[in-house]
Chains A and B, each alone.
Chain A
């Protein structure tokens, strides 16, 4: 069966629409001058050298990684066992979690930020910890979905019962049987959470802006000074997200190939 021509045209248009900005950004980050010509006047790695030579950039990158990583790790350690317990042993509480999840979507970032500033600015708690707390709540939807679906897939309840009948305590059964079987699922949720937090700008800028420069705030400032360096940042950021996505896809695929019944 032959596809009509306009199919190709539509697909081409969409691809163009999506990739031209990325391509342009990529080229701009390598361009020496690109003002009056269709193609850049020359190519250089200079912008990247400047970028990675800037201590502020490296520090901002480090902070961003640290912030996203700690919120994700905290989410992993606290939420996975909690969701496990609720799904298996207190299913009535699931409604409560679902309500929390809706609330994370319902509140615009700016309002959350203002609310948090009002609530915590007078307290002794550093704003950066408040940010971690807000991030922790923000990734609840991803952690909940991932964990719950994995538990469903492996029939966690009967695995727990089988392990208990063989003499394992609930804790041992959870760590030796459940965790290894939901690992790929929770890795995917964590990577997803991590990349979302890594790109977050509104909350961290409003809550901790001046004292805690992240990659996003750094990028924002560079936009005003050098478009080339800003482009280089975007390219680096894009690469990182690509790597994370590849890992997510790989893990998901290997899970489908193996595991389960």
Chain B
């Protein structure tokens, strides 16, 4: 029995169904990410888990208890919002202490917990500051601390980092992951950023228009996309029809599925014994910092190829090139 289970959840807004009979399960201490494009229903699912939105049907269990009809304040679930939602009239310290005060905890205990949490989220020296005096990243750390300090059973994060710029986002991802590990906090993160999902999660659910498109460990999802949607959403997979792949790799007998996916970095210039070979013209070379991206055109079909940038290996536009690929890297899609 999992720590958190979501069973047969349905939800519609104005006769438009946004969640279709969803079933999910999270283990204790697990970091799970709900990943999907904007509007696919991630926030709605998270809010249902929090109790802020009521589902039409379905059951939610946390720690073995049915909480479907329990009020948000009694669910022992913490939530961090994209907009931070800090209390503007309270200092950093008071914001973080708020949840503990609601539990009527004794003052010294509160002070101790709050100062430890401020240390954990690296906000020492900012105790007396008001939210408006902090940067976006600092505000989000306060919001995180405010939820964590109450030791919720599950921590929910709704795109907590998407309003921040890239560098701060990377740092906060690391902080988030290390805090989660240290406190062994069952965490559900919502994001539309697949890199972020890969970087922090133990497991990922990919959502598409209110359905679960695939579920699994980051590595498995990345290397084994189950369908076209996932292949296109994760990384820059080449998605090829049966006809296209047969033209590209002159070996028709092998390809029985309708669609295939190939990762751009799966191609290599070294010979592979049991692999496929493709030869074609190099086009559209794009140096992208540490990787170089280009297209190989063969039999009228173009595929994107990526490899690490090597300064001694000069690529020429329209040059003829032969590449090899492992058979298992040509992934049939359903």
Contacts and interface: CB of A to CB of B under 8 A. Distances in A.
Contact of B73 (A155, A169, A181, A260): A169
A258 B89 CA distance: 9
Interface string B69-108: 0011110011101010111110000000011001100000
Nearest to B103: A167
B73 A154 contact: no
A167 B150 contact: yes
B52 A177 contact: no
B85 A162 contact: yes
Contacts of B81: 158, 161-162
Nearest to B72: A164
Contact of B131 (A166, A167, A261): A261
Contacts of A261: 88, 131-132
Interface in B124-164: 130-132, 146-147, 150
Contacts of B132: 258-261
Contacts, number: 68
A109 B132 CA distance: 45
Interface string A92-105: 00000000000000
B331 interface: no
B77 to A, nearest CB: 7
B62 interface: no
Contacts of B72: 161, 164-165
Contacts of B71: 164
Interface string A223-261: 000000000000000000000000000000000001111
Contacts of B79: 161-162, 165
Nearest to B130: A258
A165 to B, nearest CB: 4
B73 A167 contact: yes
Contacts of A167: 73-74, 99, 102-103, 150
Contact of B147 (A154, A158, A161, A166): A166
Contacts of B86: 162
A86 interface: no
B333 interface: no
A226 to B, nearest CB: 51
Report, nearest first, the 4 A-B pairs whose CB atoms are least far apart. Answer: A166-B99, A167-B102, A162-B85, A158-B85
Given A161-B81, A259-B132, 6 more contacts: A154-B88, A162-B79, A164-B52, A165-B72, A167-B74, A167-B150
